[in-house]
Chains A and B, each alone.
Chain A
Amino acid sequence: MFSAFKIQDELFEFDRVTKSGDSLSLIREEERIQVHCLRREGNKLLLELIMPSNHRITRWVDVLQATRNHEFRLLFNHKESMVNALHDATEAEAEQADYRAPMTAKVVEVLVNGGDQVESGQTLIVLEAMKLQMDIKAHDHARVSEVSVKVGDQVQQGDLLIHMEEEHRE
């Protein structure tokens, strides 16, 4: 079961997560948060959240997308969020070292090689879809371990583009 979750850039960790049917328990510091899935209608889930204080709220959440990399795009109350489900915080560290394709696209430029030292904000790869270009930029100061794609490759959403050396991350 997943026990760590990255939402946008924030990490949420639990001591234990258990799910049985339509009930979910998230346990953190001896406190239990319970969630019930009351209804499923297509990609819409009606969820009831029961906080340790016994405060209860119920709301519909739309699941826009779920990828094989356990990334979920959600929409509720006009708000968008992205959850990345991880097995634990170590995986969160490892995930940080992977740069994946945010959409199905063609690789039009590869600007780094294995072994290169890159700075935060430096453009690593340029992707193109529907004649629009998107820069994949380094989010950390790191050393490139491996570039998994070359110019002209067609990549699917979630495909690994670049892996960074973990020990060189700061």
Chain B
Amino acid sequence: MIKPIKKVLIANRAEIALRIMRSCKERGISTVSVYTQGEEQLPHVLQADLAVCLQGTELSETYLNIDQIIQTALNHQCDAIHPGYGFLSENAVFARKVKAAGLRFIGPSAEVIELMGDKKRARSVAEKAGVPLVPGFSPAGMPAEDIQLKAQQIGFPVMIKATAGGGGKGMRIVHEPNQLQSAIKQAAAEAKSAFGHDEVLVEKYLVEPRHIEVQVLGDHHQQYFHLFERDCSVQRRHQKVIEESPAVGLNEQTYKTLFNTAIALCKEVNYTNAGTIEFIMDRDQKVYFLEMNTRLQVEHPVTEAVTGLDLVSLQIDVAEGMKLAIEQHSIPKMGHAIELRLYAEDPVQQFMPTSGVLHHFEFPKWPGVRVDTGYTQSLEVSNRFDPMIAKIIVKAESRKACMNRARSYLQAIRVGGFVTNLGLLQRILSEEDFLKGGVSTHYLQEHKDLLQWAELAEEDALFSIAAALFHGVSGKSAGSTQADNSMPFMLPTDLEEFRNV
């Protein structure tokens, strides 16, 4: 039965809150957004039909406070909650409590969130669905010689990782068989202190791996779709910096494995709503299951750019109980798209977080370019939150044209006030290996020159000195113009032209 949603509470902030709000507005759905003290001037507060200030200071008291968020939704007669990404988006307890409160959760079921959030269970259900797994085993309770033997069968190097958590904690790469035992012990100890569980897995370590993921979508009528792949191999500290679609150079067999197994996994778990199945791919284009993200991804606009679909709107369709009126074979795949994440961090100083006032923050409107941001000029970016300040999505008919357009666009934007990774993004878009395509997740570690100060010729030094003297120390220059704050982003539904470029 179709139950239209009339009012949505968006349990998130900044760009993703605005992104969700935009699709809600298109559908005539009222929006309630939440914020914390000090965020009153953010666009996600200004543009919602109603914005509610969450009580408390710590994240655990505000954006991560399940009870307060659900109560806020109930107080304001919402009938659904969209969690966005991060925060409570993959919290099964939250999804369950939202449902128990009589609200709809715009996302998959609590059971699927729970299942996919547990790496071990996720692995076994993926295996059952026929998704290839990275060869590996759990060394718990195994005699030392068996561990050694099994590791030899997989072949060195192997990786040891914690079953709980992520972010690189409890992870070890072992190249030599004689270092295996001590590495397992160390990883287990690290996992124990970081996550409270000391369980680890030993897995095949892939050389030159690429991160390839498949966007999926399921409805409550047992229909499952894939919306093609994204290549998210350019990462720092296991976090994505650049994503693109299509992935460069995949062969037919690889596509078949990716898409068929992604759909098979959705069927196996009866997946509803938008999700992403992440794969790791080795040099021979063998793909292995990494994990499933049971939510909307940061990089979903890349898929929107190549398919012309509005993923948030489709999520709402599913949550309303609609049977999605799309057919797999007629989903378009047009041109090439890339997403560049602008982060408040210093690429030449180990990516240390930066913060401050965005004295300059201007993004000209260009055909084929979409900018999703939760900030406007003169706002302060604090390091209480995620360092991502904008996503720049560029689309063109070919990869080459896409990269050229993106490179030019990065020269045209104005971002000033504190250091960001803009220079790094510019350098990547001019770097030979990246332009060739198909780089591995080790790209940034292997291209250290991108993370360094420039070698300065004399005229470079003189330009630098002159710029410092002309700019002065105020941070604001006289010619600064106020940005157009009315529409800080463009969205897919605007983008007939975005599609047709």
Chain A residues within 8 Å of B352, by CB: 102-103, 129, 132, 134
Which residues, 76 to 120 on A, are CB-close (under 8 Å) to B? 76, 78-83, 85, 102-104
- List residues of chain B with CB within 8 A of the CB of A40: 470, 477-480
Q: Which of A66-74, A145-153, A160-168 contacts B (4 or more CB under 8 A)?
A: A66-74
Residue of B nearest to A134 (CB): B352
A132 neighbours in B (Cβ, 8 Å): 351-353
What's the Cα separation between A129 and B355 when bound, in Å?
10
Contact with A along B272-302 (1 / 0, CB 8 A): 0000000000000000000000000000000
Q: Which single member of A43, A44, A85 contacts B359 (CB below 8 Å)?
A: A43
Interface residues of A in 125-140 (CB under 8 A from B): 129-130, 132, 134
Q: Is the CB of B473 within 8 A of A74?
A: no
Please classify the interface of chain A as helix (H, G, I), strand (E, B), loop, or mixed, using the class held by over half of its residues.
strand
Give Cα distance in the complex from A24 to B468, angstroms.
Answer: 11
Query: How far apart are the CA atoms of A103 and B360 in the complex, in Å?
Result: 19
Cβ of A102: which chain B residues have Cβ within 8 Å of it? 346, 349, 352
> CB of A49 within 8 A of chain B?
yes
Q: How many angstroms from the CA of A51 to the CA of B458 in the assembled complex?
A: 11
Quick check: A42 and B468 within 8 Å, CB to CB? no
- Docked complex Cα distance between A47 and B350 (Å): 30
Q: How far is the CA of A17 from the CA of B348 in the complex (A)?
A: 29
User: At the interface, yes or no: B356 with Cβ under 8 Å from chain A?
Assistant: yes
A-B contact pairs, 17 of them (CB 8 A): A2-B469, A5-B468, A24-B466, A37-B466, A40-B480, A41-B479, A42-B481, A43-B477, A49-B462, A65-B354, A65-B475, A66-B471, A72-B468, A75-B426, A76-B467, A80-B347, A104-B356
A-binding segment of B127-135, B173-181, B416-424, B484-492: B416-424
CA distance in complex: A57, B24 (Å):
51
| A72 B422 Cβ-Cβ under 8 A | no
- A47 near B467 with CB under 8 A, answer yes
Q: Are B466 and A47 in contact (CB under 8 A)?
A: yes
B459–A65 touching, CB < 8 Å:
no
How far, in whole Å, are A2 and B417 apart by their CA atoms in the complex?
A: 22
Enumerate B41-65 residues with CB–CB distance to A below 8 Å. Answer: none
A65 and B417: CB pair below 8 A?
yes
A157: B residues at CB distance < 8 A:
354, 356
- Judged by a CB distance under 8 angstroms, whether A45 is at the interface is yes
Residue B461 is within 8 A (CB to CB) of chain A in the complex: yes
Residue A144 CB within 8 A of the other chain = no
Q: Is B75 interfacial (CB-CB < 8 Å)?
A: no
Tell me how far the C-beta of B332 lies from the nearest C-beta in chain A, rounded to whole angstroms.
Answer: 34
A78's partner among B351, B427, B463, B466 (CB-CB below 8 A) is B427
Complex interface: chain B residues within 8 A of A33 (CB): 462
- Further contacts, 15 of them, CB under 8 A, given A40-B470, A51-B459: A40-B480, A42-B360, A42-B481, A43-B414, A49-B459, A61-B467, A64-B416, A64-B423, A66-B474, A74-B467, A80-B348, A80-B423, A83-B465, A103-B352, A129-B353
Alpha-carbon gap, A57 to B416, bound state (A)? 24
> Are A74 and B456 in contact (CB-based, < 8 A)?
no
Q: How far is the CA of A50 from the CA of B301 in the complex (A)?
A: 45
User: Which of A8, A41, A73 contacts B419 (CB under 8 A)?
Assistant: A73
Are B473 and A42 neighbours in the complex by a CB distance under 8 Å?
no
